[in-house]
Chain A
Amino acid sequence: MATQAPSVNALEIADATVPGRIESVFLRLAPGAIVGLVGPNGSGKSTLLCVAAGLLPATGSVLWRNRPVAALAPLERGRSAAWVPQEARFEFGFTVRSVVAQGRYAHGDDDRGIDEAIAALDLGALASRPVNQISGGERQRVLMARALATAAPLQLWDEPLASLDPRHALEVLLLARRLADAGSTILLSVQDLRVASGLDALALMDSGRLRAFGPPASVLTPEALAEVFGVRVRTAAGLVFELP
């Protein structure tokens, strides 16, 4: 799927370098795919996501659907891509609903899709709660709901599953699947390689360089695992999570 050459790439990064963080990264993502970004701590995953989102200046080029990000107006950018940071720090007590509604800013502050986004992330009971009074995992879901509300075709999520409990983590993955099936592209960084092995494609980062890209089986080879992560792998019977 993602390895065939389609007509227009959802995201195309060419020779991106941020001194000290990432070096000479080339990446092409087709529409309608969930791509995982894996690598050890400090390998440049967050940096790459920021560069892909147009938030960090880098040498080289970043294109969304063949259009250079730098040439897009800020509002257009808001409609085209959504970025979810690794950590949420909310200083002020906006309600959950009003934070999610901020995702509609680039669409003229209408209220389309807000309630759906809140329901999809199971935030209905928290909708009127101030965001600075909820737990870390709940804050992460608020960020996700806001990204969802933007209805942007390119979704860039930084460690979205990190603070979620198993059920909500599964729901997020199912949500990503639904979005991808509808034509969006999701690039998310994951630490759990077992989850990663279930995604459409993986990009492996190591010390700022993109080591491999392709289907999970071809990326997570035993040699790669040993060299990059320093772990050995063997298959065994284990816990498999599903939604009831």
Chain B
Amino acid sequence: MILPARYARFALPGAVLLLAAMAAFSLATGDVRLGPERIWAGLLHRDAMASTVIWQIRLPRMAVGVMVGAALAAAGLIMQAYFRNSLASPDLLGVSTGGAAGAAVAIASGWAAVSLWSLPAAALVGSFAAVGAVIALARRGASTERLLLAGVALNALLGAVTAYILSRYTDLYQRNAQILFWLMGGLEDRMGMHVMIGLPIPLAALALWPLGRPMDLLSLGEQEAQSLGIDVRRLRRRLIAIAAVLTATATAIAGTVGFVGLVVPHILRLLVGPEHRRLVPLALVGGPVFVLGCDLAGRLAGGLRLGIVTALIGGPFFLWLLRRHQ
């Protein structure tokens, strides 16, 4: 633990303040130069151009960033408790790869051009089909080892589907470009509809809130947790369902964004320790801080997509983690 115990109480308020600051920076950044007075005027609809930029472009982008950060950080936390491994991440069960495959099919087949809702819908269908397949493959009470293996298999299979689509439709350069753009994950062009599609995220977060204490016990052993009074089967089902909803929704509204679910819970655990009653709210606030921060860094660096920045940070972080684990 890096923070002494008595300061750990201030971690959550501190994170909330940091989030507020990030949100303010996010609203203040963009190609259209708006000073603080114009931003305020825009929020209050007193300035036509500013209000369009703020309400139609920057606020949806910020809201989607917050939702995606919270969802992926919380899903990562769940996966790490569920698999009792601090290197676990939300992609283990194929949710994001399934979403990517669904999106690739929608873009390549042209459905995505028919309606703006087709793409997120296809991603959601792909995600849930993937989770369902993993659980069906693992079968029989779904022990963690079997789930992991099924997840690996499905990730490979779905990756092959996406790669096939990319190779098959090379003549339609633009469609391939769109697929690749989506695969990088990012917050550009987010609208009110994406915020609406993301509504399951706060609901799932609410469902997760009371599960912090049971997650403590589960993270130290399934049989031990069962003997201490946890209904392990029910808890695991709930956790998987919540993690699937969180990850699938985040993927549907922002594409595949990696490393948030690995980096954020890990840093938080280093700061305040492994108690999940503290980690769950912190992940729901710290994830957005990380995502908004990466988004800002990408924008300031000249337009790097969110998925690229999180990978640039997450890759080296992962290596450092592996070294530390030895």
Binding site for B on A (CB under 8 A): 50, 53-55, 74-79, 81-83, 85, 89-95, 98-99, 102-103, 105-106, 109, 130, 143, 146, 150
Contact = CB atoms under 8 A, between A and B. Distances in A.
A92 B86 contact: yes
B84 A91 contact: yes
Given A98-B275, A109-B213, A91 B228 contact: no
Contacts of A109: 213
A130 B1 CA distance: 9
Contacts, number: 73
B226 interface: yes
B275 A94 contact: yes
Given A91-B220, A92-B220, A93-B273, A105 B226 contact: no
Contacts of B189: none
Nearest to B1: A93
B226 A91 contact: no
Contact of B229 (A74, A93, A143): A74
A54 B232 CA distance: 13
Interface residues on B, range: 20 to 34
Q: Looking at B84, B85, B216, B219, which has the most chain A CB atoms within 10 Å of its CB?
A: B216
Contacts of B273: 93-95
B86 A83 contact: no
A92 B269 contact: yes
Q: Looking at B221, B227, B275, which has the most chain A CB atoms within 10 Å of its CB?
A: B227
Interface in B157-175: none
B227 A82 contact: yes
A54 B84 CA distance: 22
A77 B227 CA distance: 7
B47 interface: no
Interface in B105-147: none
Given A91-B86, A93-B1, A83 B224 contact: yes
B217 interface: yes
Contacts of B221: 85, 89
